[in-house]
Amino acid sequence: MKLSILLVVLNNKAFIAQAMDNFLAQSCPEAELLVMDGASTDGTLSIIEAYAARYPTIRYVSEKDAGQSDAMNKGLRIANGEFVSFLNVDDYYSEGVLNEVVEMLYADASIDFITGNCNVWDAQGELIYINRPFPMEKHHVLSGYHFPVNPTAYFYRKSIHEKVGFYNEKNHYNMDLEFIVQTVLHYKITYVDRIWGNFRMLPNSKTFSDQSNRQLEIRKNELLSTYLRKTSYYVQLQVWLYRMKKKQYPRLHYFFRVLQDKINFEVSKLKTKLK
């Protein structure tokens, strides 16, 4: 088993079937889906049980946990795959991603962490922007400008946790960013300019709520500052210089990037209608 896809869920029967269908549609013989259910009571569990009974590549555990990070860590400890990825219940992989990633992992045994790009969608299915995390050296990530925003866009060797530890169970908001920061301090992150992940920014999500009350950026900066202080003066200087460089024309650059992404998205929709 090359890949373990971990899906953490609690009371979300609206999306659970779509998430499992997205995994199954990948048709990847070297991947398993491990569903970590937090003892759902709204009918989610019965849907999971039905899928697991029908498809041998889907396993599940249903028990109370101490939060998302705790459930993620429990899943990591029983995952069969050499590499892992996390599929949030309301997000999804692009077509053919899992097989594409497996081929890359077999072709290059030096890969420890690999990431692609991620579409970020609003609740109406309109593209907000495309997250392109490149480049991803230490100072790029610690600057706060370059990191994957959703785990559907990245895959990593499970053994990384032996070096950097598991997800911080006291961090209930950006535990994934904290793990990425810890990883980039010790491992090379490989970037592929392909859209692998799809992240739905839904009104009832933690990310949406954090962004709405402006806590998202505050939490991110606090976390980055904490880890930056632990690095060498050389890395801190690199981060400072890179931030100065990025501040020159950030709004203009972002505006034209988002505009180009939206144009490309509308053109692709038009082409689909004309077929």
How far is it, in rounded angstroms, from Cα 170 to Cα 184? 21
Cβ neighbours of residue 119 closer than 8 Å, sequence gap 6 or more: 94, 127, 130, 131, 195, 197, 198, 199
The helices-and-strands tally (H runs, E runs) of the chain is 11, 9
Tell me, yes or no, whether 102 lies in a domain: no
How far is it, in rounded angstroms, from Cα 75 to Cα 138? 28
Same domain (yes/no): 242, 163: yes
Query: What is the residue-level pLDDT of the chain in tens, covering all 275 positions?
Result: 699 999 999 999 999 999 999 999 999 999 999 999 999 999 999 999 999 999 999 999 999 999 999 999 999 999 999 999 999 999 999 999 999 999 999 999 999 999 999 999 999 999 999 999 999 999 999 999 999 999 999 999 999 999 999 999 999 889 999 999 999 999 999 999 999 999 998 877 666 555 656 788 899 999 999 999 999 999 999 999 888 888 766 666 667 667 767 777 887 888 777 76
Beta 189-200 vs 154-157: how paired, if at all? unpaired
Tell me, yes or no, whether 138 lies in a domain: yes
Cβ neighbours of residue 9 closer than 8 Å, sequence gap 6 or more: 16, 19, 35, 36, 37, 38, 40, 44, 48, 89
Say which DSSP state 103 is in.
Answer: H
Q: How far is C-alpha 131 from the chain's CA centre?
A: 11
Domain holding 242, by residue range, is 108-275
Same domain (yes/no): 120, 85: no
Same domain (yes/no): 152, 69: no
The sign of the dihedral angle between the CA atoms of 133, 137, 143, 147 is: positive
Q: What is the pTM of this model?
A: 0.87
Contact by Cβ (8 Å): 21, 35 = no
Contact by Cβ (8 Å): 155, 111 = no
Residue with tokens 């006291």: 170
Looking at 39, 60, 89, the residue that finishes a domain is 89
Tell me, yes or no, whether 75 lies in a domain: yes
